[in-house]
């Protein structure tokens, strides 16, 4: 019943009229939905993969602003500039036939300022961490502006009102908290929207923790940065996140979750530091870890990290489309087995790129455990600069690493590789499949061609 409700809600959203709702997506590569916005909102370009409906006028602040507006059409161009002070600047550029760009920097002397437009209890702009909880209780439109969270202080968005919107604006930072169990951001709710204003950044302070070991040892550090749990029909859009300590998104217990237009940049963790013994300073820096969640869609997202771009460990009806994955371990199922939920059913990875990474397409299960992986499709995946495996299926993981001896307790069936193409290094494997006895079935390859390396398959024949 819950799944049917989620599907119905998603179908209604997909069939909405020609205008997109407030803070919804309205453009970008591969976008096929509405490209105009409801009254009072403008379609604003964020990156090549994402444009968003944002308020058409700048939010009111307690300080004076300077506004510059340029409007272009096919026949006329007008420009208006009003200058009052240098304390705050809002810049908007709109082009009728292509895209719109908005860059805004606003500050407020007040801690919580009503801004309106939230419906019901209205909206609030929060500029001090201590006022977040009261805004969550009283507001349905919350702007978190330049929040600096003290040490051991979570940005707690677990009690948001139904259909509430939270907008991250300016720079969000966190005090150093050397605790493996500390979660800097936690989100829950029904019908909620978490999004970002133009020019915002959420900085996880990774360099304070990175030691080349991630969650495998070294100093204590927040293991999960952005936790999304127990949501129903929620949306997360247009966030810019960088320098997360270990895993970025942990998503568990969600239904009907849509995530789009994100930029996850952990590139600063590629370089060694004084604590990493010559290795990349960041480690175990998964982009998205998805578990026990149904009807989840990730779309049009850039990830630069040092581990799995996406890892699905349990859940059903999960779609990953339009991702650009750089520097990590690719698009993964697993590890499966030995957990409270060991079922993965109906997962689609499509139209995505994996670049300069260890693996591209990977399914891994844990040795001596039980579980089910079925109906998995990799379609339209391109790869380059792969150092270990192009396509990798292994049933021999123990304590986080392969043993070379597969077991058959976790069954893998109905796996399709369609138009998966690209190159790997000469020391890597184009295809590597290591299955237990009779535990793999229904693997198909169509239009798949990976070159440059070697092949090892103990299941049927690889292309």
Distance CA(12)–CA(339), nearest Å, equals 35
- Contact assessment for residue 170 and residue 126, using Cβ atoms and an 8 Å cutoff: no
CB 400 within 8 A of CB 367: no
335 upstream amide cis, omega within 30 of 0: yes
Tens of pLDDT, residue by residue over 204-227, are 999 999 999 999 999 999 999 999
Q: What is the pLDDT of residue 86?
A: 36
Query: What residues of the chain score a pLDDT lower than 50?
Result: 1-2, 4-17, 57-121
The pLDDT of residue 47:
65
In the chain, how long is the greatest CA-to-CA distance?
75
CA–CA distances in Å: residue 133 to residues 114, 136, 156: 15, 5, 7
Return the pLDDT at 123.
85
pLDDT value of position 49: 63
Please tell us whether the domain made up of 220-457 is placed in CATH 3.40.50.2000.
no
Which one is catalytic: 247, 304, 317, 329?
A: 329
Listed by start position, the domains of the chain span 220-457
Say which residues have a Cβ less than 8 Å from residue 104's Cβ, sequence separation at least 6: 58, 59, 89, 90, 91, 169, 197, 198, 199
Active site residue 283: no
Instruction: Show the 3-state SS of 268-281.
Output: HHHCCCCCCCCCCC
**Pair of tokens at residue 286:** 């998964």
Question: For residue 313, which phi and psi values (nearest 5 degrees)?
Answer: -105, -20
CA distance 337 to 372: 8
Measure the CA–CA gap between 55 and 236, rounded to whole angstroms.
Answer: 17
Instruction: DSSP letter for 205, please.
Output: -
- Cβ neighbours of residue 106 closer than 8 Å, sequence gap 6 or more: 58, 59, 61, 63, 65, 88, 90, 145, 169, 170
**Residue 99 CA, distance from chain mean position:** 23
Which one-letter DSSP state was computed for residue 4? H
The CA-atom distances, in angstroms, between 233 and each of 74, 192, 299, 321 are 40, 7, 15, 18
* Lookup result for tokens 């509405």: 34
Query: How much is the pLDDT for 56?
Result: 74
Q: What is the pTM of this model?
A: 0.81
Cβ atoms < 10 Å from Cβ of 219: 12
**Helix or strand or coil: residue 390?**
strand
Q: Residue 304 to residues 287, 295, 308: CA-CA distances in angstroms?
A: 8, 25, 10
Report which of 334, 253, 321 is spatially closest to residue 286, judged by C-alpha positions: 334
Burial class (CB in 10 A: 0-12, 13-18, 19+), 56: middle
3-state secondary structure of 8: helix
What does the chain come to in residues? 463
What residues pair up with 332 in beta bridges, in sequence order? Answer: 311, 362
CA triple 421-433-382, angle to 5 deg = 15
Are the C-beta atoms of residues 25 and 51 closer than 8 Å to each other?
Answer: yes
Distance CA 36, CA 397 (A): 49
DSSP-derived secondary structure letter, 234: -
- The predicted-structure confidence for 92-110, as pLDDT tens digits, reads as follows 333 333 333 333 333 332 3
pLDDT at position 460: 84
């Amino acid at each position: 019943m819950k799944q049917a409700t989620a599907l119905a809600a998603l179908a209604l959203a997909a069939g909405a009229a020609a205008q997109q709702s407030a803070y919804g997506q309205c453009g970008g590569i591969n976008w096929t939905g509405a490209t105009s916005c409801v009254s009072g909102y403008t379609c604003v370009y964020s990156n090549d993969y994402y444009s968003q409906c944002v308020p058409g006028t700048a939010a009111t602040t307690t300080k004076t602003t300077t506004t510059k507006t340029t409007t272009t059409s096919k026949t006329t161009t007008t420009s208006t500039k009003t200058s009052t002070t240098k304390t705050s600047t809002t810049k908007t550029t709109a082009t009728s036939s292509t895209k719109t760009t908005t860059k805004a920097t606003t500050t407020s002397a007040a801690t919580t300022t009503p801004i309106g437009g939230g419906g019901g209890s209205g909206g609030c702009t929060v500029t001090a961490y201590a006022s977040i909880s009261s805004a969550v209780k009283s507001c349905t439109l919350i702007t978190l502006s330049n929040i600096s969270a003290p040490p051991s202080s979570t940005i707690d968005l677990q009690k948001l009102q139904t259909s509430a919107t939270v907008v991250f604006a300016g720079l969000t930072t966190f005090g150093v908290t050397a605790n493996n169990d500390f979660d800097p951001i936690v989100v829950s709710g029904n019908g909620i929207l978490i999004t970002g204003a133009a020019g915002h950044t959420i900085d996880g302070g990774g360099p304070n923790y990175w030691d080349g070991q991630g969650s495998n040892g070294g100093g204590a550090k927040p293991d999960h940065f952005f936790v999304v749990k127990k949501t129903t029909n929620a949306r997360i859009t247009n966030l810019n996140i960088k320098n997360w300590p270990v895993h970025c998104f942990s998503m568990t217990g969600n239904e009907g979750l849509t995530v789009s237009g994100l930029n996850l940049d952990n590139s600063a963790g590629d370089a060694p530091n004084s604590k990493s013994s010559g290795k990349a300073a960041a480690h175990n820096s998964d982009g998205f870890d998805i578990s026990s969640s149904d009807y989840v869609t990730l779309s049009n997202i850039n990830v630069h990290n040092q581990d799995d771009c996406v890892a699905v460990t349990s859940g059903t009806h999960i779609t990953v489309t339009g991702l650009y994955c750089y520097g990590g371990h690719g698009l993964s199922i697993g590890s499966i087995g030995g957990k409270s939920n060991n079922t993965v059913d109906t997962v689609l990875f499509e139209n995505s790129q994996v670049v300069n990474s260890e693996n591209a397409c990977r399914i891994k299960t844990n040795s001596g455990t039980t579980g089910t992986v079925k109906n998995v499709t990799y379609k339209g995946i391109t790869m380059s600069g792969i150092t270990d495996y192009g396509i990798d299926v292994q049933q021999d993981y123990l304590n986080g690493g392969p043993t070379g001896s597969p077991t058959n307790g976790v069954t893998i069936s109905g796996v399709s590789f369609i138009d998966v193409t690209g190159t790997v290094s000469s020391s890597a494997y184009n295809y590597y499949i290591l299955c237990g006895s009779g535990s793999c079935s229904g693997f198909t390859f169509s239009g798949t061609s990976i070159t440059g390396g070697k092949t090892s398959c103990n299941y049927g024949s690889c292309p």
